[in-house]
Chain A
Amino acid sequence: DVKVTQSSRYLVKRTGEKVFLECVQDMDHENMFWYRQDPGLGLRLIYFSYDVKMKEKGDIPEGYSVSREKKERFSLILESASTNQTSMYLCASSPGLAGLNEQFFGPGTRLTVL
């Protein structure tokens, strides 16, 4: 069974804090993704990675950065958290060519920035 885990289910941070969201997958998938999900807007891609140390911007990368030092781990960093980054953050992974195969999602992290 593919398992994607995220470091926290709920997180509360203050404006200006640096925030780290961790994602780990145990199926040796090449591709990993970070999305945020907001009511009425659906899933929006922040960043993705198709290999270790490789990263590509998604649709809404501003205010975020990522790190992939090991194949199984993909981190999302909010350099200086702002209230408009309050959201549900979902990590996903997939094998092979990105998008042709099923994406497996983690349980999500609900981040609140005060």
Chain B
Amino acid sequence: QKEVEQNSGPLSVPEGAIASLNCTYSDRVSQSFFWYRQYSGKSPELIMSIYSNGDKEDGRFTAQLNKASQYVSLLIRDSQPSDSATYLCAVLNTGGFKTIFGAGTRLFVKA
């Protein structure tokens, strides 16, 4: 079992819809969780971080964390073609120094 698992996609949604990206992790005591966006040919950039159970909203983005289920998700409301990218889920391991990245989910937003 991979430490951080994501559906590779591609996930295709129409413009204006909600895109839902999911991630599961294996380290039960992980405390820090991140979502990075990576455009094709570019390097990753952080869009959300979440540390406690529940929802965290930032503009059109909402991160959801459920530690009991070891599950993190990212919702993108009113999806735009410019949101088309690969989204990487990342989890800080219990040692506190290593961030484990998932392989990413490719999102396509159709105009």
Report the separation of the CA atoms of residues A75 and B46 in the bound assembly, to the nearest whole angstrom: 23
The prevalent SS among residues of A at the interface is: loop
Taking a contact as CB atoms under 8 Å apart, the answer to whether B42 and A102 are in contact is no
Taking a contact as CB atoms under 8 Å apart, the answer to whether A42 and B102 are in contact is yes
Contact count band on A: 20 to 34
Taking a contact as CB atoms under 8 Å apart, the answer to whether B44 and A105 are in contact is yes
- In the complex, whether B99 has a CB less than 8 A from a CB of chain A is yes
Q: A42-B88, A43-B88, A99-B98 are in contact. Are A107 and B43 (CB under 8 A)?
A: yes
- In the complex, whether A12 has a CB less than 8 A from a CB of chain B is no
Report the separation of the CA atoms of residues A98 and B34 in the bound assembly, to the nearest whole angstrom: 13
Report the separation of the CA atoms of residues A105 and B99 in the bound assembly, to the nearest whole angstrom: 13
Chain A residue contacts of B98, Cβ below 8 A:
45, 48, 58-59, 98-99
Among A35, A56, A102, A105, point to the contact of B97 (Cβ < 8 A). A56
Q: Which residues of A contact B (CB under 8 A)?
A: 31, 35, 40-45, 48, 50, 56, 58-59, 90, 97-100, 102-103, 105-108
